[in-house]
A and B are shown apart, each in its own frame.
Chain A
Amino acid sequence: MRNGVVSIILGGVGGQGLRVASRILGEASVRAGFDVKIRESHGLAQREGSVVSHVRIGKEVHSFLTPQGTAQALVSLEMSEGARNIGYLRPNGVAILNDKLLYPVSYYTGEAVYPNKKWVLSAFKHYGAKLFLIDAESLAKKAGDLRSTNVVMLGALAALDVLPFSSKFVLEAVRSVIPHSVDVNVRAFKLGIEAARSMDYET
């Protein structure tokens, strides 16, 4: 990007740990000596709403919001929320999706036709994104706690050369933002790195 800003879009559903994930990226950026701006959705965390964070990192970051079609990476803890935010991603951008689809109540009541997994994958394929589909929940469980799913996803992001600093800053930030369960989260982070490194992206 012209102004050297790296934009990461984080998507998901309330309660999936999105705000913690964006804070970790923010803390990592400050530790690595960068300017950073983070925009988070508020107020719907416990209420089953969509949540999205914009994390923008650079020498000097101006806007809190990512212009359409310019984000280097989209990380989504839920697949359909990834599709919802796809317009922010630049063509050829990196998309890391947690292999998890959460249906809203309107799907169960029959009021809404909701995308399925196949639809989401084809949307990303059509868009031309470099797609990494990761079963982050299983990896989090393997690390010792389902709640570390967000950290697995950050591990995958840190492995993919999108961030303008090394993964050690992210790991330091994980330790500082979630000080009460460091071991589990360090394992989760490493499993995320391994998962992303072991796969070729799907296009």
Chain B
Amino acid sequence: MKLIEIEKYRVLMTGNEAIARGLIEGGVSVATAYPGTPSSEILSALVRISKENDLPVYAEWAVNEKVAFEISFAASLCGLRAAAIMKHLGTHWILDPLAVSAVTGIKGGLVVVSADDPAPLSSQSSTDTRNHAKLAHIIAVEPSDPAEAKELVKETIDISEKVGLPAIFRYTDRIAHGRAPIVLGELNEGMRKIVPNFKKDPDKLVSIAPNARKNIPELFKKLEKAKELVSKPPWIIREGSSSGEFGIITSGSPYHDVKEALSLMGIDEVPLLKLCVSNPLPEKPISDFLSSVDEVLVAEELDPIIELEVFRIAFSNGIPVKIYGKSTGHLKPYGELTTDKILRALLLMQGKNLDSMPSKTVAGDVPRRIPQLCSGCSHRGAYISIKNALKKAFGGRGIVLGDRGCYNQGGNPPLRAIDTAIAMGSSIGMAVGLAKSGLNEPIITVIGDSTFFHAGIPPLIDAYVHKAPIVVALLDNSWTSMTGHQPNPRTGRNAMGDPAPTVLPERIAEGIGIQFIQVADPYDIAESEKAIIRALLAAKEGPAMVIFRRECVLQELRRLRKEGIRPEPLKVDPTKCTGCRTCIKIGCPALEFNFTTNRARIIEEKCVGCSICAQICPSNAILPKSREV
């Protein structure tokens, strides 16, 4: 989406766009990422801004987050400013090199932009990545809104470079996808004129144990320096009265919910301490604040990281302040914080009853609208084929292990096609585990192309070496679709929009030594069923692989639309339809059912003519629209 400039310097942007702009204004010249909601839109915005302004920025969709981090780390060692962008789950993959980069130190400012998902809205868990900063002994920054995110990410790059430590820039879904007016700043072109210079320094950069032992105390000295630097604005801001009966310590987007709650209660002048940093925490300003109030509520999102430090600081300074938050049950260590939750905590603190709080009324009565695979999605064909194959050849027995991607929608009713969905690449390792546990059932894993390249190759080697009798069904649609169609090693294009070499998964499988590899078109149910049955029979002495290959239909449609082509939709012949609803049970958004006439109907505008429903209709009642009935 192109940014629309309304006034000269006031532009409505999402937090992700604002962070991209901030990274550019902060002089970043190498930016890497692996797509993951809610972080996915940063890198493409960054590419767009650098192209529009003709800036020499290298951007890359890396094969996974660890590779992304290592590329940016190396750029930093050359003196360039660099960023690695990912969702919270991705940061778990980088902890090994991240912790070492703290020990070795860095040169150019290095920031890991990590999008947390407290609700969660698009994640399998809701981890708080501020913990990683404590683990690796690096700086953790958190902004409260898109405008602040843009400014603070620049400050983060500066402080990282000044101290010589990487920083985690932790923000949340609400900021990522929230839109607000942003004031644009200078693009910092001079910063990108730095000539890369890798200075050999084996005592630091060859981080073997003797060197690490020497360098670890250095790391803590750097952290002390950081602590001094963050003891003032913009890292820590005091608002409201200078003292009072109770005060609030807050960070991240809950800051704004606190402000809103105080305003609703008519007590705007309550003493407030806003922290934009959670590691290292500036001790003196916090102890001063605690001394100025009798009671304090700590409002932060997810884990009580600041809160526990507040307890420690109060205790070690002998400050008799009563502390409320997650430890006392006034707030919860999960879910997004909202104004309502903070109002509730404040009323509880004051010993008031909560009857005046508005509650949700009808909302709970409307059943959830369960997301489905898109109309024409090739994964639907793969799932139906797997189900049919297990039914026909194995009496319906079999475990289907899913992985992470769009194809998770196939786990929802009515398709209910997968039995697990854990973490990137987990399907194959868990399949080995089921087989080695002695489970006597067909075992199939379902994994997308991007996920396979990200984390599926090591477990596939493991499965081969240990002769695990499993079938790996690779859903190869050439794009990282779930997160908005980023290119991956199958696509033939890179983040900069230039042509790129492609990698074929079957070549990898062949190289490993896998004997049975078959490519099938998931739009052809009969062929796909056969491929799965043959693979299951072949997988007696090791893994077999079926590659379901068809480009993501949304990308295909996008291309066809440019050429003015609209695929022919299908229609239901009402004289043949018996109302059995077999087609309805595949969960296609283009199909609906009329309970009055007892007939299925195809919604023409939504149908892309994939013909999967026509192939499974027991009465052959579904035909191309142009065919005469």
Q: Which residues of A contact B (CB under 8 A)?
A: 2-3, 13, 22-23, 26-27, 30-31, 35-44, 46-50, 62-65, 67-70, 80-81, 83-87, 103-106, 108-115, 123, 127, 176-177
State whether A87 touches B360 (Cβ < 8 A): yes
* Smallest beta-carbon distance B147→chain A, Å: 10
Q: Are A49 and B371 in contact (CB under 8 A)?
A: yes
Residue contact A46 to B374, C-beta cutoff 8 Å: yes
Give the residue name and chain of the B residue nearest to A112 (CB): B367
Is A30 a contact partner of B12 (Cβ separation < 8 A)? yes
Chain A residue numbers with a CB within 8 Å of B162 are none
Given contacts A48-B371, A64-B174, A87-B361, contact A42 B181 (CB under 8 A): no
B149 to chain A, nearest CB (A): 13
B256 touching A108, Cβ below 8 Å: no
User: Bound complex: CA of A36 vs CA of B358, how far in Å?
Assistant: 24
Contacts of B339 in A (CB 8 A): 63, 65, 67
For residue B581, CB closer than 8 A to chain A, the reply is yes
Least CB distance from A124 to B in Å reads 9
Q: B21-29, B77-85, B152-160, B586-594: which lies at the A interface?
A: B586-594
How many contacts A-B (CB < 8 Å)? 168
Give me 20 A-to-B residue pairs in the complex whose CB atoms sit less than 8 angstroms apart, sorted by A's number: A27-B6, A36-B179, A36-B180, A42-B173, A50-B368, A50-B369, A63-B338, A67-B339, A68-B358, A68-B360, A83-B365, A103-B592, A105-B372, A105-B589, A106-B370, A108-B592, A108-B593, A109-B414, A110-B581, A127-B362
CB–CB B414/A111 < 8 A? yes
Of listed A64, A80, A110, A176, residue having the most chain B CB within 10 A: A64
Instruction: Determine if B260 and A63 form an interchain contact, defined as CB atoms under 8 angstroms apart.
Output: yes
The 8 Å CB contact of A63, one of B257, B357, B360, B483, is: B257
The answer to whether A35 touches B181, judged by C-beta atoms less than 8 angstroms apart, is: yes
Task: List chain B residues, Cβ under 8 A from A48.
Answer: 369-372, 589
Residue from B343, B413, B591 in contact with A67 in the complex, judged by beta carbons closer than 8 Å: B343
A80 to B367, CA, bound (A): 9
Cα distance A115–B591 when bound, in Å? 19
Contact of B12 among A27, A42, A105 (CB under 8 A): A27
Task: Tell me, rounded to whole Å, the shortest Cβ–Cβ distance linking B428 to chain A.
Answer: 25
Our pick among B6, B179, B592 for the contact of A31 (Cβ within 8 Å) is B6
> Which one, A30, A49, A85, A176, contacts B369 given CB within 8 A?
A49
Interface residues of B in 573-609 (CB under 8 A from A): 581, 584-585, 587, 589, 591-593
The complex places the Cα of A31 from the Cα of B11 at a distance, in Å, of: 10
B29 smallest CB distance to A (angstroms): 29
Residue of chain A at shortest CB distance from B37: A43
5 further A-B contacts with Cβ under 8 Å, apart from A62-B257, A105-B372, are A35-B181, A67-B339, A69-B358, A87-B362, A105-B370
Q: Which residues of A contact B361 (CB under 8 A)?
A: 86-87, 127
Residues of chain B with a CB closer than 8 A to A68's CB? 340, 357-360
- Which 10 residue pairs are nearest across A and B when measured between Cβ atoms? A69-B358, A87-B360, A62-B256, A38-B179, A108-B593, A47-B371, A112-B367, A84-B366, A62-B259, A49-B371
Residues of B within 8 A of A35 (CB): 180-181
Contacts of A46 in B (CB 8 A): 374, 554
Are A62 and B260 in touch, CB under 8 angstroms? yes
Which residues from B are CB-within-8-Å of A85? 363
Chain B residues with CB under 8 A of A27: 4, 6, 12
- B264, B371, B409, B591: most-surrounded residue (chain A CB, <10 A): B371
- B611 close to A (CB within 8 Å): no
Q: Bound state CA distance, A19 and B246, in angstroms?
A: 40
Nearest-CB distance from A172 to chain B (Å)?
10
Residue B178 interfacial (CB < 8 Å): yes
Is B263 an interface position by the 8 A CB rule?
Answer: yes
Rounded to whole angstroms, the CA-CA distance of A115 and B178 in the bound complex is 30
Q: Please, which residues of chain B bring their CB within 8 A of the CB of A67?
A: 260, 264, 338-340, 343, 358
A88 to chain B minimum Cβ distance, whole angstroms, is 9
B618 to chain A, nearest CB (A): 16
Q: B145 within 8 Å of A by Cβ?
A: yes
Q: Please determine whether A42 and B38 come into contact, CB atoms closer than 8 angstroms.
A: yes
How far is it, in angstroms, between the C-alpha of A114 and the C-alpha of B368 when the chains are bound?
10
**Chain A contacts of B367 at CB under 8 A?**
104, 106, 112-114
Q: Which residue of B lies closest to A108 (CB)?
A: B593
With a CB–CB cut-off of 8 A, which chain B residues contact A22? 179
Residues in B whose Cβ lies below 8 Å from that of A103: 592
Q: Which residue of chain A has its CB nearest to the CB of B343?
A: A67
Verify A47–B585 contact, CB threshold 8 A: no
Assess whether B12 is in contact with A23, with CB atoms less than 8 Å apart.
yes
A43 contacts which chain B residues (CB < 8 A)? Answer: 37, 121-122, 482-483
Q: Which A residues are in CB contact (< 8 Å) with B589?
A: 48, 105
Q: Does B10 contact A (CB under 8 A)?
A: yes
Q: Is B511 an interface residue (CB 8 A)?
A: no
Contact B263 A62 (CB under 8 A): yes
Which of B257, B264, B340, B587 makes the CB contact (< 8 A) with A2?
Answer: B264
Contact call B370/A104, Cβ cutoff below 8 A:
yes
Q: When the two chains form their complex, are residues B414 and A42 in contact, meaning their CB atoms are under 8 A apart?
A: no
CB neighbours of A31 from chain B (8 A): 6
Q: How far is B580's CA from A110's CA once the two chains are assembled, in angstroms?
A: 12
Q: CA A67 – CA B257 in complex, angstroms?
A: 9
B190 lies within 8 A of chain A by Cβ: no
Selected from A47, A64, A104, A110, the residue in CB contact (under 8 A) with B256 is A64
Q: Which of B451-498 contact A (CB under 8 A)?
A: 482-483
